Structure formats: C-alpha cells, structure tokens
Amino acid sequence: MEVESFNGKNLAPARAKILENIKELGFEAQNQQLFQHGFTKLSQNLKYLKIYNGDVDQIISQLGEKVKTKEAFNKELEKDHGPRKPRKERAPREESPDLQLKELTEWPAHIRTLYLDGNNMLYVDDAIRKMVLSRKNKLAEKALADLALNFAQTLGTFNVILIFDSTKQISSQDVVATNGNTIKFSVVSSTPEFTNSDDALVAWSEKLGDKVNECFFVTSDRGLQVRLAQNGVENISKTKRWFTLVKNTIGEDKYRAVLSQTE
C-alpha cells in the first residue's frame, strides 16, 4: 500500500517509514531543503541528518563532494572500460515483518530495567531539540537524563540505563524513589567498547536470556527495533510515546520545570 508523502507524491511503505522517522526526529523542514537541492534519497538524507544534527549547509557540502567524487570515478572508469552497462532491475526487496510496538499508555509493572536510546531521543521534545540545534548537546543530554530520572523516581520499580553514542557525562547512582525503593540510574557511552549505541543495545539484549521480558527498550530507530526483536525483545516503544507517558506520569508542570532548569 502506498501513502502520501510531504511533497504530494506517493511513497512505498519502506520510504514512508523513513520519512516518518525523519519527522519524529524533527528534521522534516531540513529534509525538504535537501529535496530542493536535488538530494531525494530518503535513507541517505536520514543518515546525514543524524550525523550533522540537521545542519543543512554541512550536509549539502558533504553530499556535494560525494556526488563530485562519484562522477569523477565514473568518468575514469569509462576511459578504461567504456560506458557502463545499465543495471538490471532488481526484484522488490521484501519488507521486514511488522513489529508489535507497545503503545505505552501506562507503565508495565513487571519491567525491571529500562533502556533508553539517547541519541535517538534528542530530537523529539521541542525544548531538547532546540538545545541540540543550538549546539548545546551537554544541556540536551542532561535534560533528557533529568526527565528519565524523575520518571524512574516517581514510579520506583525499575533501573534505568540511558546510553548515548558518545558522551562524557557518564554516571551511575543509587536513587531513593518516591515509594522508598532504591533504584539504579546510569548514563553511559557506547564508545570505546562499541561503535554506537545501537550495537551496544543489541549486544546487551543478546545476553538477557530469561530476563528479556523484564526489560523495556525505547527507540524510534526502525533498524534497531528489528535487531532487538530478532533477539527476542518484545517490549519496545517509540520515543514519542515514552515522552508522553513521562509527562503524564510526573505531571506537565514538573515536566516543564525539569526542562527549564537546563535552559
């Protein structure tokens, strides 16, 4: 089934999912700018929007150099071997099976550990996204951590591991929750042990064994969701749903107060 894209053209389901990811990360306007400059490959746009935190000028510069390099290579190739033969049409790639993501309207009581995909979560809430786009990454990471800490303290039934691709704000603390329970709250960096947080989360999920149903993962990264599901993880939710639950759990006033402390 095809869906309507932002520019009025029909998109295949796979491309529509990428576009949805771009929108959830808050890069819809930047993606439109890339389209206007002729960069219409959504998967490529998503990749570079993540790498450069939505800095369109940097992305256009990098993609422009990439195009020039490819054109120069093709010209040299044609000198040696003649014009390239047109590629054969490939059969449509099978879509990955639909994942049963959790709606997360309320927190599951049986969960003992919450894993948060930090980098993927920095572009959902407007206030945090503005910090990132203003090059205030440390403040953005702290804001996200403070929200997660308040959420965990309010419920007091699970530990939290918030992971970023690379951060210097590493910490681990025992926190007394509202109900009197002691929970562990950790902020970690995937490097140097792993290349990125995706690989770290997948590696950890492989070792959960019979504890896998007691763990919850929050990420809107489709590729990561699929990899986690392949390891038997069933408790996965998108980041936007998690932010909504946090706001409903700690209250909107406290939610805004936590974010304003970092501004």
CA 88/CA 90 separation, integer angstroms: 6
The phi, psi pair for 180, rounded to 5°, reads 95, -10
255 within 8 A of 147, measured Cβ to Cβ: yes
pLDDT exceeds 50 at position 4: no
User: Once rounded to an integer, what is the mean pLDDT over residues 144-169?
Assistant: 97
Q: Is residue 67 part of a domain?
A: yes
Same domain, 18 and 135: no
User: What pLDDT was estimated at residue 92?
Assistant: 46
Tokens of 244: 């909504």
CA count, 13 A, side-chain hemisphere, 56: 13
Alpha-carbon gap, residue 19 to 25, rounded angstroms: 10
Asked, for residue 108, whether it belongs to a domain, the answer is: no
Q: Are 145 and 56 in a shared domain?
A: no
Task: Kindly state whether residue 117 falls inside one of the protein's structural domains.
Answer: yes
Q: Domain count of the chain?
A: 2
Smallest CA-to-CA distance from 242 within 261, 226, 220, 262 is with: 220
Is residue 153 within 8 Å of residue 163, measured between CB atoms? Answer: no
Contact status, residue 128 vs residue 144, Cβ threshold 8 Å: yes
The CB density around residue 197, as the number of other CB atoms within 10 Å, is 27
87 belongs to a structural domain: no
Give residue for tokens 């770290």: 200
pLDDT (tens digit per residue) in 186-226? 999 999 999 999 999 999 999 999 999 999 999 999 999 99
Same-domain status, 53 and 170: no
Q: End of a domain among 57, 78, 99?
A: 78
How much is the pLDDT for 138? Answer: 94
Q: For residue 8, give its domain range.
A: 3-78
Q: Is the model's pTM score more than 0.85?
A: no
What local confidence, expressed as pLDDT, does residue 70 receive?
54
Q: How far apart are CA 113 and CA 108, in angstroms?
A: 11
Residue with tokens 């290349």: 195
The CA distance from 242 to 250, in Å, is: 12
Say which amino acid occupies 189: S
Check whether residue 74 and residue 183 sit in a common domain: no
pLDDT at 95: 45
What is d(CA 185, CA 192) in angstroms, rounded to the nearest whole number? 21
State whether 140 and 221 are in the same domain: yes
d(CA 251, CA 117): 23
Q: Are residues 133 and 69 in the same domain?
A: no
Shared-domain flag, residues 18 and 147: no
Among the candidates 78, 99, 123, a domain finishes at 78
Neighbours of 96 (CB within 10 A): 14
Query: What would the pLDDT profile of 18-75 be if each residue is shown by its tens digit?
Result: 888 888 888 888 888 888 778 888 888 888 888 888 888 888 878 777 665 555 545 5
Q: Tokens 């049409």: give the residue.
A: 89
Co-location of 226 and 131 in the same domain: yes
